[in-house]
Chains A and B, each alone.
Chain A
């Protein structure tokens, strides 16, 4: 979904669209309101001003028609409204009720019209003061009457109105953005659910399903998502079942074969040297076959997850020592790192000890097969992890192979090394991961390769279930 919006994200796009919509609507509304109000208010003001001007004009006319009328006196006696000024022109002389206003305040077209004998008015702005200029010819007196009505009040009213409307437009835009945010969140919520579920499935939680929904718009995606996971789960289970079935099916004949060969082994002396050599071959190949099958079954168990693991709390140092002994290695190779003051460090791990023991033996075995044997084994506590380092006597593992060798059936071993199942190290890796730990390979400080297994320290005070159940009843 590449597009101009892709950098914005769905949420941002929805929010921006809502804000833009709100902005357009509220601006149109504000401008419309302003124009209507302005038109109405100006009409009103104009009508008032005209009415007043006519009244004032007739008053002035009356004054001028009186005997010995002096124009300034007439103007003074009119007493126009506070915000208006009167100007009279007679015999090319100008008279004004205000010092500030004079003929320069009267627009030319108004004066022109009045001179021609028509009533004129116009909006004018003089000295930054908005005003309505009304011109009335006083035909009876041979004079021109002008009234300049200040409309600054109207202007400030309109300014206030414009400000308020603009503020509302801004608020409406912000509210639109807010609604957009909410709406996008509401829209995104199901997507978030899908993302969470997908992440959980990716992490192995194949039982995860999206909850059913009544929303007809979401029903499709929920339905197809769930059926996809269903199909995936089924497929994986079928594969796992196939591998397990294969293992089981191979196990029966193999068990019979191993037992029979052991019966023959007991009677080795009765065989000719040639047959003995053949028997040796059968025995060793059978061992390899059995080892590979057991490794495959072990990997299958690891794939199946914790369901088949039997956990107990064990001392990592002791586990390593016993594993060395059982695989016929010298237990003196083991070095347990204690704290500075030499006191015992808590090395308890919560593991399936058979599984971990097997993984350790695989590491020792790997060193024997490919790297001239185990040089040292170190067990130490690194903060809340237990680390087991197995150093060998080989030439180390080349950098590019260090991750690859933990994959199944990958053999990066040197020439002439004894063939293994090719599964040993992947069992080590998957065992460590299933126990919440990790494994890696690096150069050992003294030369050779170092394989490190790191496991979390067992949580304190985690008694067996049986113990918990019995404790209440114990005296």
Chain B
């Protein structure tokens, strides 16, 4: 069964062309010309992936992402103008997973979507198997305890699920294999986002920040995902 892709874009030309191109890539495309329409579609029929334009008439892309994020963990790719680099960070802060700048190559969107799908594949593949000894990892034995269950694709604090997006979950998995190793921003960018040398390292920083707000006791004084100055990030087990 093909994956359902929501395309939220108010420009008819781009939306139609993008839909045609994405259908060629094998997606089941749902089009939405406005954020309001997209919200209804998401409620009725949750998509697996989303392409969201930031500049929309009425409700904008940022608000849409913030609105949809608490309930949907589906990867979101933002379509943005590169000139507005602060918009990109704002969209990532709002909960977007990655971005593509206009005018984009359809090939690039295809590649970005594939990278996100592969991430989804980690959990889908492991979901079939019962959790094994190795697939769970206690991150914080003092508070909760906080457990990363790679097999089930979830993080639990005291048995209750902590809602991580797929990107945050994948980021945590990379840092956890094995814990205590320093990973540079660039290598995280390659592993999680499959972006090359010229990738934007701010994506990593923003997602680490978001991850911290969800798993750290005090996100301003992180004790699990710590910054190693000049080198990158490291996961410390407690």
Do chains A and B interact in one complex? yes
Query: Chain A interface (Cβ within 8 Å of chain B)?
Result: 244, 247-248, 251-260, 262-263, 266, 290, 293-294, 297, 300-301, 304, 308-310, 312, 318-319, 322, 326, 353-354, 357, 463-464, 466-467, 470-475
Residues of B within 8 A of A467 (CB): 227, 229-230
| Nearest chain B CB to A307 CB, angstrom units | 8
B230: chain A residues at CB < 8 Å are: 463, 467
A252:B24 contact, CB within 8 angstroms: no
The reply to whether the CB of B21 lies closer than 8 angstroms to some CB of chain A is: yes
Q: Can you name the residue of chain B whose Cβ is closest to the Cβ of A244?
A: B83
**Residues of B participating in the A interface, judged by any CB pair closer than 8 Å:** 11, 13-14, 16-18, 20-21, 24, 81-85, 102-107, 196-198, 200-202, 205, 218, 220-223, 226-230, 236
The chain B residue sitting closest to A472, CB to CB, is: B221
Residues of B within 8 A of A318 (CB): 197
Q: Contacts of B197 on A, CB cut-off 8 Å?
A: 318-319, 322, 326, 353, 357
19 A–B pairs (Cβ distance < 8 Å), ordered by A: A251-B103, A253-B13, A256-B16, A257-B17, A259-B14, A259-B17, A259-B18, A260-B17, A301-B83, A308-B83, A308-B85, A354-B198, A357-B197, A357-B198, A464-B205, A466-B227, A473-B218, A473-B221, A473-B226
B109 nearest CB neighbor, chain A only: A259
Q: Is the CB of B106 within 8 A of A258?
A: yes
How far, in whole Å, are A455 and B20 apart by their CA atoms in the complex?
45
B83 in complex: contacting residue of A262, A304, A312, A357, CB < 8 Å: A304
B103's partner among A255, A304, A466, A473 (CB-CB below 8 A) is A255
Task: Find the B residue at minimum CB distance from A322.
Answer: B197
A475 contacts which of B107, B196, B223, B229 (Cβ < 8 Å)? B223
* Given A258-B103, A293-B103, A463-B230: A322 in contact with B198 (beta carbons within 8 A): yes
| A308–B202 alpha-carbon span in the complex (Å) | 13
Q: Quick check: B226 and A474 within 8 Å, CB to CB?
A: yes
Nearest 10 pairs of A and B residues by beta carbon? A256-B13, A473-B221, A259-B17, A470-B227, A255-B103, A322-B197, A260-B17, A262-B106, A256-B17, A256-B14
Could you tell me the distance in whole angstroms from the C-beta of B19 to the nearest C-beta in chain A? 9
Select B226's contact among A266, A300, A464, A470, beta carbons within 8 Å: A470
Inter-chain contact A259/B21, CB cutoff 8 Å: yes
A sample of 14 more A-B contacts (CB under 8 A), given A308-B84, A326-B197, A474-B226, is A251-B103, A252-B102, A254-B103, A255-B102, A258-B103, A290-B103, A297-B83, A308-B85, A357-B197, A357-B198, A463-B230, A473-B220, A474-B222, A475-B236
B24:A266 contact, CB within 8 angstroms: yes
B14, A312: Cβ atoms under 8 Å?
A: no
Asked whether B102 lies within 8 Å of A470 as measured between CB atoms, the reply is: no
Q: Assess whether A263 is in contact with B103, with CB atoms less than 8 Å apart.
A: no
B227 touches A471 (CB 8 A): yes
In the assembled complex, which residues on chain A have CB atoms less than 8 Å from the CB atom of B228? 474
Knowing A262-B21, A263-B24, the reply to whether A251 touches B81 (Cβ < 8 A) is yes
Are B227 and A248 within 8 A (Cβ)? Answer: no
Inter-chain contact B14/A252, CB cutoff 8 Å: yes
